[in-house]
Each structure stands twice: as structure tokens, then as C-alpha cells.
Amino acid sequence: MITAKGQCVQKGIAIGKILIYRKPKPRILSEKITDTEEQLRAYRDAKEEAIRELSYMSEMTEDKISKEQAMIFSAHMMLLQEPDFDHAVTEEIVQRHHNASYAVYRAGEDLASFFATVKDNPYINERAADFRDVTDRVIRKIQHIDDEIRLPSDPVILLSDDFSAQEVAGLNPSQVLALVSAKGSVNSHASILARSLGITALVDTGIAVSEKYNDRTGVADAIDGRFLIDPEEELLQEMHEKQKIFLDSRKELEQLIGTKTETKSGKRVSLFANISSVLEAKMAQRSDAEGIGLFRSEYLFLNRQSDPSEEEQFRIYKAVVETMNPKPVVIRTLDLGADKQDQSRTGKEENPALGVRGIRLSLDHPGMFQTQLRAIFRASAFGNVGIMFPMIVSKEEVETIRTMIDDVKEELVKEQIPFTDPKIGVMIETPAAALISDELAGLVDFFSIGTNDLTQYTLAMDRQNAALPVRQNVHHEAILRLIELTVQNAHKNKIPVAICGELAADSALTSYFLKIGVDELSVPVSAILSLRKWIRSQD
Ligand code: PEP
Ligand code: MG
């Protein structure tokens, strides 16, 4: 038996025959050519074919998965259409007399190594892999190499060194039991696609991929992160049982789709989802979330060189709002800083968690803040939108925000751009906000308690520091009192109150939250149905 440890991309247990997939490798030899015109034609034809193929992949992915995921392929198309790339390949052929395959390879490598060496920008660094993917595609076309993964009719565990996003997008999920790769990372585009397609997947197993494993029995345990080849009978039996338990519990939870989130005695609470992308909104919808309680918009701003434009933000907010319509979607304005570092704006801070983060950063950059507000207001015309603000500590901040909102509304009216009036809320995630929640309640339409930060600031324990026992203290009396005070003050002022920190999904506190009258729990998508199950089991 062979055992390899890996990282789980998509939870599940797959048992079945292994099929080794090896990427067809094009031959890259530098040859001096004389037929420049012919090589140029071979390159241009191959590039056109690659672009057509990518455009097809993009349409197919948009149909099968989402617009957002389809963008991976449009981005690849754009890389191929880069004038710099075209210029470099042409120069390799015309000036250096290299054959088309080698010319594409050289030009691709030069650009990829440029991307790979840009300092302190992991997003750009990852684009090097994209560049290699697209140039490989063109070279395969030049050499007429067929790169489609052909699967047998009986589903298999596909084992490879690594999978590209294109390869995963082209798979029919019903023919694949699991994807297992020797390399790869949980957040690569290929992994994101595997998750969206619901294919059980393990990456980074380090396994030496060899044809000798073809047709042998494999077990991809993407619950405990291991891959087994030819397990002994007893272990195989154990895995079958584990698989059955997993599938049964998933089926049982799926039965809860369409049911109410209420206790046996009929006490109700709204069960919302926390998301950070359009794809997650789709998953939330599939898991029957009653709305989005927290859309962490800062993920749109991270890992990129420039801020997303109003148009780009608008398109994403609109997509989320339309996905959930008519259910409510609460978009939280930018919460950069602290653990979501953004040194380009804040500079290096001694104590970033106590520094320019959340609303402080937005108020310091009014242009950026207004752009975001405009994008959210424009999206409000397409469904049920709420806006909330992170890291509030004072009434003055809320008053300033209100004035800025009025300005944005006035502008939109002047420009005849439609919007509705979104509900305005604040996060209660600092002890200060909880303690003045009686005053804040008069200024807003709802509260949402962020227990992650409320815990770190109340206990003076960094939520990032693994050495601190924050986890053991999450039920600390001080936090529960601040939550209770916030709920009381909200209700005195007749506004609803949600909890959107991790504590919302902590079933040990659910009964307590229901008892004190919390109106909404907003939890990670994966926790929705299991929390509903728990609530329905309570008296
Ligand atoms: C929180 O602090 O509880 C919260 C929901 O916000 P974030 O985790 O994004 O800081
Ligand atoms: Mg927070």
C-alpha cells in the first residue's frame, strides 16, 4: 500500500480505479529556420486556434459554472493577444530565425519570468503560471498535439502531476471520482474550478506519478487529506464506511433545503451567508441561504496593483445581488488593514490591528470610498441591497458616512442613474461600538455584530496569534455581555441585529442567541444547512 498526505480542495471520499493523466509534452527544440513566412503562419494559425478554443472554454464555463470563473479563460485570451507577446515571438522568428515552437516558448518564458520575479506581489507572480499555460497551448497547436483528457465510461480517480484550469473546466464531473495531483495549491484556479464543479480533489500529495498505478485501486480521502493506493482490505472497508457516512450526512442536510430555520417550538431566526465572491453567492443560493449577511468586499481589492474601477465593482455587486434576488444582500465596504494587509495605503504600522483599517481607511481615501458607494448604490437597482460599515467606534464616523452617502445619491440623481435606498448598517465589532450602541442605533437601520474582532479587541488578544488562547475564550462573559447589550439597544430602537462573526455558527451558543433575540445569524456557506439542522433539533 502507498499512502501520501495531501491538501483537501473539495471535501469527499472517492474510491475507484486510478487513471494516470500525463500532459502531452510538446518537443521544444531550437532549430534555425529559413522559411520565416511559413513559421510565422504556423504561429499565427496556432494562436488563432488557441484563442478560439479559449473563447469556447470561457462560454462553456460561464454556462456550467459562473461568469467569474469564465474570466480565467478570457484573461488567458487577453494574455495571448498582448502586443508585447506577439512582438517578441515575431522577433524570435524573423530576426533570430527560430522555429515557431521555440519562438513561442522563448517569448513566453521571458514574460513568465518577468511576472514571476515582480516583488511582493503574489497575484502577479501566479500569473507566470498562466503565461506558461497559454504558451504551452499554442505550442501544442503548432505541433498538432491533441490535449483533451479522454476518460473511460466508468468514472475514475484522475492522478496527475498537476492540473491546469483548462483541463479541469473541460471535465465532465460525472466521469471523475476525484482529482489527485502531486503538486498544486488549494487556491489555484484549477482548485477553485474543481470546488465549483463539486469534484472531490486533493492537491500537493507529492506522489511520484507513474504509469504503474494505472487501473490500481485508489482512495482519495479529502476529509483527512490522504491518498491511498492499493489499501489493505480492512482499510478499504473502513474507507467505504467513511464514504457512506459522508454521503448520508450530505444527503440528510440537502433534505433541509426549502425548510424553515426554526426550533421545534417555532422560534425563528434568519440564516444568512458570509461570502466574498460571486461564486460563493451561487453556492449560498444552492445551500438555501436566506440572504447574504456579509459580503466581504475587500477581497476585490486584494492582490492587485490598482483598485477595481466603479464599473468592475458594480458588475460584481450586481451579479451577487441578482443571484440572490429577491433575498437581501448586505455589502460591507472595504475592510482592509490588520490581517488583510494593505501597506501600499497604510504604510508600515507598528500595530496594524489598531491602525488605519476598515472605515478609517475608507474615510482617509474619500475618492476610493465614493467610488465604492456609487458602485453599491448602482447595484441596489437590481435587488435587495444593504450597506454596512466596518470598525465603527463613534457617532461622528456614522454622521460623516451619512453625509457622503447623501452626496453620492445627489450625484446619481443628477446623472439619472437608478438606485433604490439601501438599508444602512454598522458592524459592532469594537467594544466602543457595543458600549455606545444605544446612540448608534438611532443613526442606522441595522446592526451586525462582528464577533471575530469584538473578541480580539475586548480580550486584547490578536486573532492572528496562534500562541494566544483566543479560541478558548470565545465564550468569555465580557463578549457575551457586549453582545447582549447591543441586542437590547438595537431592539429598544426597533432595529434588527445580526451576528456575522464566526461565533454565529457556534452551535454551543445558538440557543443563547435565540433566547436574547438575535434576529439573524450569518455564517460561512458550508455551515448553513448543518446549523439549520441544529436549530430545528432545539426545543
Ligand atoms: C468580524 O470581525 O467578526 C467580522 C465578521 O469581520 P472580519 O472577520 O471580516 O474582520
Ligand atoms: Mg471584523
pLDDT in tens, 57-93: 787 777 666 676 677 788 888 888 888 889 999 999 9
In eight-state DSSP terms, residue 276 is: S
* Residues 197 and 295 placed together within one structural domain of the fold: no
Mean pLDDT of the chain: 89
Assigned domain for 254 exists: no
Q: Which of 299, 388, 389, 429 to mutate to test the pocket of ligand 1 (most atoms within 8 A of CB)?
A: 429
Residue 184's pLDDT band (cuts 50, 70, 90): confident
* Residues 133 and 179 placed together within one structural domain of the fold: no
Domain boundary residue, one of 95, 115, 142: 142
CB distance 335 to ligand 1 below 6 Å: yes
C-alpha cell belonging to residue 47? 494562436
- 138-158 burial, b at 16+ Cβ within 10 Å, e below that, comes to bbbbbbeeebebebeeebbbb
Are the beta carbons of 46 and 142 closer than 8 angstroms? yes
Give the distance (Å) from ligand 1 centre to CA of residue 450. Answer: 5
Distance, in Å, from the CA atom of 271 to the CA atom of 507, rounded to the nearest integer, reads: 13
We report the CATH number of the domain holding residue 438 as 3.20.20.60
Assigned domain for 219 exists: yes
* Residues 492 and 391 placed together within one structural domain of the fold: yes
Are the beta carbons of 60 and 188 closer than 8 angstroms? no
* Residues 137 and 156 placed together within one structural domain of the fold: no
- Per-residue pLDDT tens for 439-461? 999 999 999 999 999 999 999 98
* Residues 330 and 208 placed together within one structural domain of the fold: no
C-alpha cell belonging to residue 130? 498562466
Give the distance (Å) from ligand 2 centre to CA of residue 453. Answer: 5
Closest C-alpha to ligand 1, atom 6? 450
Domain boundary residue, one of 142, 172, 207: 142
Q: CA dist 117 to 110, 112, 135, Å?
A: 11, 9, 18
Assigned domain for 369 exists: yes
DSSP string of 66-93? -HHHHHHHHHHHHHHT-HHHHHHHHHHH
Write the CB contacts of 3 (distance below 8 Å, at least 6 apart in sequence): 226, 227, 228
Residue 198's pLDDT band (cuts 50, 70, 90): confident
Closest C-alpha to ligand 1, atom 1? 450
Assigned domain for 440 exists: yes
Give the distance (Å) from ligand 1 centre to CA of residue 199. Answer: 29
* Residues 324 and 432 placed together within one structural domain of the fold: yes
* Residues 346 and 488 placed together within one structural domain of the fold: yes
Assigned domain for 422 exists: yes
Distance, in Å, from the CA atom of 388 to the CA atom of 364, rounded to the nearest integer, reads: 17
Q: Which residues are catalytic?
A: 189, 500
Of the listed ligands, the closest to the CA of 299 is: 1
CB distance 333 to ligand 1 below 6 Å: no
CB distance 450 to ligand 1 below 6 Å: yes
- Per-residue pLDDT tens for 361-419? 999 999 999 999 999 999 999 999 999 999 999 999 999 999 999 999 999 999 999 99
Tally of structural domains, the chain: 3
CB distance 453 to ligand 1 below 6 Å: yes
Bond prior to 326 in cis (omega within 30° of 0): yes
What pLDDT shows up at residue 129? 73
135 closest CA partner among 158, 163, 102, 95? 102
Give the distance (Å) from ligand 2 centre to CA of residue 390. Answer: 7
pTM of the full predicted structure?
A: 0.70
Distance, in Å, from the CA atom of 403 to the CA atom of 409, rounded to the nearest integer, reads: 10
Closest C-alpha to ligand 1, atom 3? 450
Assigned domain for 260 exists: no
Distance, in Å, from the CA atom of 38 to the CA atom of 89, rounded to the nearest integer, reads: 14
* Residues 194 and 126 placed together within one structural domain of the fold: no
We report the CATH number of the domain holding residue 197 as 3.50.30.10
Closest C-alpha to ligand 1, atom 9? 296
Assigned domain for 200 exists: yes
* Residues 529 and 388 placed together within one structural domain of the fold: yes
We report the CATH number of the domain holding residue 70 as 1.10.274.10
CB distance 501 to ligand 1 below 6 Å: yes
pLDDT(158) > 70: yes
Assigned domain for 281 exists: yes
- For residue 449, the ligand 1 atom closest to its alpha carbon is 3
Domain boundary residue, one of 112, 142, 172: 142
Residue 343's pLDDT band (cuts 50, 70, 90): low
Distance, in Å, from the CA atom of 40 to the CA atom of 398, rounded to the nearest integer, reads: 62
CB distance 357 to ligand 1 below 6 Å: no
Most confident of 143-152, 208-217, 487-496: 487-496
CB distance 429 to ligand 1 below 6 Å: yes
* Residues 172 and 76 placed together within one structural domain of the fold: no
How would you write 191-248 as a 3-class SS string? HHHHHHHCCCEEECCCCCCCHHHCCCEEEEECCCCEEEECCCHHHHHHHHHHHHHHHH
Structural domain containing residue 217? 2-23+148-234
* Residues 214 and 86 placed together within one structural domain of the fold: no
* Residues 496 and 482 placed together within one structural domain of the fold: yes
Residues within 5 A (CB) of ion ligand 2:
429, 450, 453
